[in-house]
A and B are shown apart, each in its own frame.
Chain A
Amino acid sequence: MSGVLRLDAVTKEYPRTGVAVRDVTFAIEKGEFVFLTGPSGSGKSTLLKLLSFAERPTSGEVKVSGFSSTSLRSADIPQLRRRLGIVFQDFRLLTDRTVEANVAFALEVTGTPANAIGPKVGRLLTQVGLASKATAMPHELSGGEQQRVAIARALANDPFLLLADEPTGNLDERATRGIVQLLREINALGTAVLMATHDLSLIMRSGYRYLELERGVLLYDGTDASRLARHQ
């Protein structure tokens, strides 16, 4: 297999709530940009958890960058996480620290040498367009800007894959366009992106490949946007 990420007949069942993901198979190639969509409770978040190894599949195999869910030890998970960038709808910033401290945090806790952290944080903030807000506190920023900080943090360890769980779910139209544009730029530099979203117009405009989940089953995997027009 050549994909950076591959799911093979993956099923995830929870003891209380039942099957969340059923028999899902797909792969993402290096440098691809893929959307993940489906109604609430269709299994998008479970799928992302499986990809970041926050959950293990009940059956089937998840393979991410050479790490396999069938053989990975818990102690290997940090190494895997350093190769992934993850962003969420609610940003998850540390509200008691500045923007630059938030980004630096990801580098500090993964053992980046202290003298390399400052320049790297500067580059990351420039990349997401927030160089001028380095010393601001998160609450002083707009939602779109906060998500940019979260993206800068996710990029800190140069991930090969960025997982974005509804990154524009809390943002207005304009901020959403800005974030998607930023994710495209990141993708253009070689990082694969898997972005979960409810926003079908986003997918249609992009023309990118998308995965559609419904009740845990992978309903569609392709680029045919006309299907989505019917949903709307």
Chain B
Amino acid sequence: MSLALREALLAFRRAPLMSALGITTIAFSLFAFGLFGLVALNIRAALLEVEDRVEVRAFLADGTSEDAIAALLGDIGAFPEVREVGYVSPDSALARSREELAEFSDVFDASVLPGSIEIRLREGSRDPVTVQAVSDRIATYPAVDDVRFGREWVEKLYRIRTVAVYAGIGLGIVFALVAVIIIGSTIRMAILARAREIEIMRLVGATDGFVRLPFLIEGTIKGTLGGLLAVAMTWLAHGLITRTLFESVFFSPMQVAAGVAAGAALGFVGSLMSVGRHLRAVWRDA
């Protein structure tokens, strides 16, 4: 193991330019991935914030008694999808309307507005289907006159998010493939550069695993360094965006660690795929 590590590190010293080139290319592919991830992350953060405001409003029939309202609040509040319910009396509805809309400033009679119940849903229950189902259930209560929720708004939000997720996955796969191919070819070059050593290793009876190990270590180290570099570049880009455009969110430490681990995994897979194929090619006539 220590010999394999030494051989792997020796590869960096023997071909520093090629190693740097390999690491940089990996870093750039992961950086592109990281940038997209950052965009997706920020869309997601924005969506969560907007989603938080998704609410269902049940307008009550005129003359609904306080007891009936209390019973209704209890019932709806017990729905598994519901996070909180609140009663908005005609008076407070008027007060709120006056605050928000100038047209209401000359309306003094609260009786023109119906009382209503505001329902906020739990996270995970804010998709269009669930919102519709909850609304339908609330509408069956006789005291409820009408149920409203921003149906189109909810649906549009979800479409954006779905597109963002699929685009992220698609681009992620493309970039991962690019990284694997790049690492594979740097390993290929490393194998060709060390063809003589490999030949002698086999000649004297080194096992296949032993011959492979330094290249796998080399690929994994390159992937890890590429991942770290990509994280640094993404962080700088994030700083730049926050300073010049808008406040944005950065990856959590866990996500950063996962990104670096993904670099390492790509490096490992790339070298594994390359090593088997090219070792055969340099296996001359020993």
Contact = CB atoms under 8 A, between A and B. Distances in A.
Given A92-B196, A108-B3, A157 B204 contact: yes
Determine which residue in A74, A79, A106 has the highest number of CB atoms from chain B within 10 A of its CB, and name it. A106
A84 B204 CA distance: 8
Interface residues of A, number: 27
Contacts of A141: none
A80 B205 contact: yes
B3 A109 contact: yes
B200 A106 contact: yes
A82 interface: yes
Interface string A30-58: 00000000000000010001001010000
B55 interface: no
Interface string A43-86: 00100010010100000000000000000001101111111101
A49 B286 CA distance: 7
A92 B200 contact: yes
A79 B199 CA distance: 16
A110 B206 contact: yes
Given A94-B200, A108-B3, A86 B286 contact: yes
A215 B3 CA distance: 44
A105 interface: yes
B208 A78 contact: yes
Determine which residue in A54, A81, A109 has the highest number of CB atoms from chain B within 10 A of its CB, and name it. A109
B9 to A, nearest CB: 15
Given A92-B196, A92-B199, A94-B197, A110 B204 contact: yes
Interface residues of B, number: 17
Given A92-B199, A94-B196, A94-B197, A110 B285 contact: no
Nearest to A97: B197
Given A49-B285, A94-B196, A109-B3, A81 B208 contact: no
A196 interface: no
B201 interface: yes
Contacts of B3: 108-109
A59 B128 CA distance: 72
B200 A78 contact: no
Contact of A157 (B196, B199, B205, B286): B205
Contacts of B205: 77-84, 110, 157
A153 interface: yes
B206 A109 contact: yes
Nearest to A107: B204
B48 interface: no
B202 interface: yes
B286 A109 contact: no
A117 B161 CA distance: 62
A146 to B, nearest CB: 14
B167 to A, nearest CB: 45
Contact of B204 (A45, A75, A106): A106
A141 B205 CA distance: 26
Given A92-B199, A108-B3, A52 B286 contact: yes
B199 A81 contact: no
A130 interface: no
A75 B208 contact: yes
B19 to A, nearest CB: 17
Interface in B241-286: 285-286
Contact of B200 (A74, A83, A105): A105
Interface of A: 45, 49, 52, 54, 74-75, 77-84, 86, 92, 94, 105-106, 108-111, 153-154, 156-157
Name the 10 nearest CB pairs between A and B, nearest first: A81-B205, A82-B205, A109-B206, A106-B204, A78-B205, A78-B207, A109-B201, A108-B3, A110-B205, A86-B203
